[in-house]
Amino acid sequence: MSSELKIKMCGLDVKVSYGKKRALHGITLNILENKVTALIGPSGCGKSTFLRCLNRMNDTIEGALVTGKILLDEEDIYDSSVDVVELRARVGMVFQKPNPFPKSVYENVAYGPRIHGLAKSRVALNEIVEQSLVKAGLFSEVKDRLHDVGTSLSGGQQQRLCIARAIAVSPEVILMDEPCSALDPIATAKIEELIDDLRRNYTIAIVTHSMQQAARVSQFTAMFHLGNLVEVGTTDTIFTSPQERRTQDYITGRFG
Amino acid sequence: MFTQHTVRSFDKELNRLSKEIAEMGTYAAHIVERSILAIMRDDQKLAKQVISDDIFLDVAERKIDEEAILIIARRQPMAVDLREIIGAIRISVDLERVGDMGKNIAKRTAVLSDVRQTAAFYHGLEDFAALALKQLNEVLDAYACRSLERIDAVREHDDEIDSMYTSLFRDLLTYMLEDPRNITVCTHLLFCAKNIERIGDHATNIAKTVHYVITGTYPALERPKDDQTYRLEIGKSRRIL
């Protein structure tokens, strides 16, 4: 591994319980800067749970208990001094189903920068909105429809709008939870292309059920099963010669 | 051999591919055996049969290629499945070439018939072919049971082929030195020997592919070559080995 790799986020012995049910049994995993890390595994394996720990989304789930440490640039994000709202601006999230606010395209993107006070003027805000839409590969498609309601866009456009919304607050890490599972192949291809562009400026962790997608978009892959981390390695290795039997069986379609 | 896929028809497709490689291997070995037999027995009819039978391997190679491509398109195989399929494509290419070698040997039966020599001239070739075929069959057996130990064992014998080739080469040179009238027959036999040596190389290629199919990595690169024939020259030949 090259020495240029820098650890952006790091989970150390992360355990999560929902009430009495233990969902994660102590995960230690690095998320490397400017790389795409794919989290794979059968349903219920804990990959989304781990992803949600990375920006404390589990805080919002009743009865969820997280132990262990999660570091962002070596700072523990579960430390009591951390402002969760600010954390979620630094670690943005894109969900499985596109969920634009029931507002205009423009307002969807402008909302974050506005509440975080990122724009000093109307002109600056316009600039952030436009740049975010450009980075999300959506601007040319919506530039004449900025004041149409976000939900009037196609599914793929809505998902890219959600990515633009996440980008608008200048995050460092973007978490994606099955961002393409509700999209058709063309819209999926556009998102995958976008992910590849985005990793130049952001660190990305993506949960996906599509082995092919994980193989296409990520540089590192972590395989989860029953709340444990089975194997993590370069994506090239995981999909051609995984070391663990469970990884092999899962990615070749023998269980899961 | 493996636990089954959730999609059973995928298992069937992979098993079929594997079975077709086994059949191709048996047939390729059979072609080579018969080509040597045709030379030993001066059997023109058998030689013609061998030459025309080679088409079976061409067809089989193309069929495996097409099936493999379809599986890739249909299933997007990963890990060991992907390696199995890539392995099948590669092995079929080597086996098709083995068939070509047999065909080339069979083609020389006609001219060798015109310059028939005593049996002593042919025994070296027969033994050499037997060794190469043993190597090929062992590789195919190791493929059939996906056995890494057996593959590594086969690769231990690579140099036997090289040293036997060198010694056969030297014998044929000696015959030519003894009597220029031997030159025609010995030259043709040399080409046959070269073809058999190539069969050994294909067996080695297949061994490497099987190693890759099983482990996902290739064995350490190039073993030192023991084939010394590139250094053999008339007058100095006795000093080699």
Contacts of A251 in chain B (CB under 8 A): 78-79
Token pair of B175 as six digits: 């015959």
**Cβ contact B82:A240 at 8 Å:** yes
- The β-bridge partners of A91 are A173
pLDDT of residue B235: 60
**Cβ contact A160:A138 at 8 Å:** yes
Q: Do A240 and B82 touch (CB under 8 A)?
A: yes
pLDDT at A163 over 50: yes
Percent of chain A with pLDDT over 90: 90
Contact residues, chain B to chain A, C-beta under 8 Å = 2-7, 10, 75-83, 215-217
Q: How confident is the model at residue B241 (pLDDT cuts 50, 70, 90)?
A: very low
- Tell me the shortest Cα–Cα distance from B5 to chain A, in angstroms: 4
Q: Do A241 and B6 touch (CB under 8 A)?
A: no
Residue of A nearest to B81 (CA): A252
Say which range, A134-138, B56-60, B175-179, B224-228, has the weakest mean pLDDT: B224-228
Q: How confident is the model at residue A31 (pLDDT cuts 50, 70, 90)?
A: very high
Contacts of B216 in chain A (CB under 8 A): 240-241
Mean pLDDT to the nearest integer, A169-181:
95
Nearest to A251 among B6, B78, B217 (CB): B78
pLDDT of residue B219: 86
- Tell me the shortest Cα–Cα distance from B237 to chain A, in angstroms: 48
Mean pLDDT to the nearest integer, A125-135:
95
Mean pLDDT to the nearest integer, A90-94:
96
pLDDT of residue B2: 59
Token pair of B42 as six digits: 């001066």
- Tell me the shortest Cα–Cα distance from A195 to chain B, in angstroms: 21
pLDDT at B236 over 70: no
Token pair of B131 as six digits: 């060794």
Q: Do A254 and B5 touch (CB under 8 A)?
A: yes
A185 shares contact with chain B (CB less than 8 Å): no
pLDDT at A256 over 80: no
Nearest to B78 among A252, A255, A256 (CB): A252
| Average pLDDT score, chain A | 94
Q: What is the pTM of this model?
A: 0.83
> E-assigned strands of chain B?
none
- Tell me the shortest Cα–Cα distance from A236 to chain B, in angstroms: 10
Residue of A nearest to B6 (CA): A254
pLDDT at A18 over 60: yes
pLDDT of residue A60: 86
3-state DSSP assignment of residue A88: helix
What's the rounded Cα separation, in Å, for the pair B72 and B66? Answer: 10
pLDDT in tens, A235-245: 999 999 999 99
Question: Please, is A229 exposed, middle or buried when counting C-beta atoms within 10 Å of its C-beta (0-12, 13-18, 19+)?
Answer: buried
Q: How confident is the model at residue B152 (pLDDT cuts 50, 70, 90)?
A: confident
Nearest to B79 among A248, A255, A256 (CB): A248
pLDDT in tens, B38-78: 999 999 999 999 999 999 999 999 999 999 999 999 999 99
Contacts of B213 in chain A (CB under 8 A): none
Token pair of A41 as six digits: 């595994």
Contacts of B6 in chain A (CB under 8 A): 253-256
What's the rounded Cα separation, in Å, for the pair B18 and B64? Answer: 9
- The β-bridge partners of B107 are none
Residue B222 has what DSSP assignment?
-
Residue bearing tokens 């999230």:
A93
pLDDT in tens, A196-219: 999 999 999 999 999 999 999 999
